[in-house]
Amino acid sequence: MLAYILRRLWQMVPTMLGVVLLVFILFNWVGGDPAYILAGKMANADSIANIRHQLGVDRPYYVQLGIFIEQIVSFDFGQSWSTGETMAHIITTRLGPSLTVLIPLTILETVIGIALALAIAFVRGSLTDRLLMIACTVGMSVSILVYIIVFQYGLAYKLGLFPVQGWGDSLSSNLLRYAPLPILIGLAVSIAPTLRLFRSFVLDEAGQDYVRTARAKGLSEGRILWVHVLRNAAIPIITYVMSNLPALLIGAFLLERFFGIPGIGREVILAVERSDFPVIKAITVYVAAATMVFNLLTDLLYQAVDPRVQLS
């Protein structure tokens, strides 16, 4: 196990270097000159040259790449061009609000998706199964913007069940007052594709030979589904959930923007609007690193769920 983890960590190094090189090329050759963005439309040549010198973009590319790698290794990406905050402060202060919404959302989405998928397996091929799949298709066809507007207007504005938007300093207040409506909307948007996917995982396993053997031995349908089918279907379910975790931080930007949640996704949108390259580069690198770490955790969870899986 230890040898496998060390080997995987070593394999992350060239992958990370590729990501760093790609990000560097995009922001230095494709992203344009940041000095012109920061100087404004009325700046003269001397002001632009001074800004370029302060940012270090007047140095050779190999020197800039070395500085970028040094920033990644030291976890010090400098300061935001727009707000002057250090990147460490931005990450630490914005990560909490994002996780306050995304952790309960991920847990609810996974648990409800698995429970409904197993319930559908009991009635597969029936009218109930078909109606649920039609409802999922309709739900997937509706834009998240429609969900946000309808839920905000109906549940928050008209009925007053939730605040329309806002965020506080207390974790308990945020979790119980401000986060439920974004979580509910995120669940309404994500449950349809999740259920369709989990249903396919469960039904694929339900048609295997070992299930027919278990039925022939007289095992109950509930035991077959909850013990045998779910255990084997857990592998693709874990893959789906773990692979989505890093992207959720960025993918929830609409929820964070509409509800005034000061999270990572909202920060990325503001950084793009302001052309705040340090923020975008730092979050891009962090998300890439998190993706590789979660891929490693996924492989370890495989063996924890099913000891027959051999890590090599």
Average predicted confidence (pLDDT) for the chain: 83
- pLDDT for the residue numbered 151: 92
Residues 6+ away with beta carbon under 8 Å from 53 = none
Catalogue the long-range contacts made by 243-246 (C-beta closer than 8 Å, 24 or more residues apart).
Answer: 243/291, 243/294, 243/295, 243/298, 244/106, 245/106, 245/290, 245/294, 246/287, 246/290, 246/291, 246/294
Which DSSP string corresponds to 115-165? HHHHHHHHTTTSHHHHHHHHHHHHHHHS-HHHHHHHHIIIIIIIS-SS-SS
Mean pLDDT along residues 77-100: 85
- pLDDT for the residue numbered 241: 87
Rounded (5°) CA angle 309-310-312: 145
* CB-based contact 57:33 (threshold 8 Å): yes
Domains and CATH numbers, the chain: 2-74 (no CATH), 88-305 (1.10.3720.10)
- pLDDT for the residue numbered 31: 60
Under the banding of pLDDT at 50, 70 and 90, the label for residue 251 is low
- pLDDT for the residue numbered 309: 65
- pLDDT for the residue numbered 127: 86
Alpha carbon distance 96, 238 (integer Å): 24
**In what helix (H) or strand (E) does residue 236 lie, and over which residues does it extend?**
helix 230-251
Q: Give the model confidence (pLDDT) of 258-307 as tens digits.
A: 888 888 888 888 887 777 888 888 888 888 888 888 888 888 887 777 66
Q: Give the model confidence (pLDDT) of 177-223 as tens digits.
A: 899 999 999 999 889 999 998 988 888 888 788 888 888 888 887 78
Percentage above 90 pLDDT, the chain: 8
Under the banding of pLDDT at 50, 70 and 90, the label for residue 112 is very high
Under the banding of pLDDT at 50, 70 and 90, the label for residue 86 is confident
Under the banding of pLDDT at 50, 70 and 90, the label for residue 166 is confident
Which residue has better confidence, 54 or 123?
Answer: 123
Under the banding of pLDDT at 50, 70 and 90, the label for residue 107 is very high
- pLDDT for the residue numbered 111: 92
Q: Give the model confidence (pLDDT) of 213-245 as tens digits.
A: 888 888 887 788 887 888 888 888 888 888 887
Q: What is the dihedral of CA 44, 45, 47, 48, to 10 degrees?
A: 120
- Has this prediction a pTM greater than 0.75? yes
- pLDDT for the residue numbered 181: 92
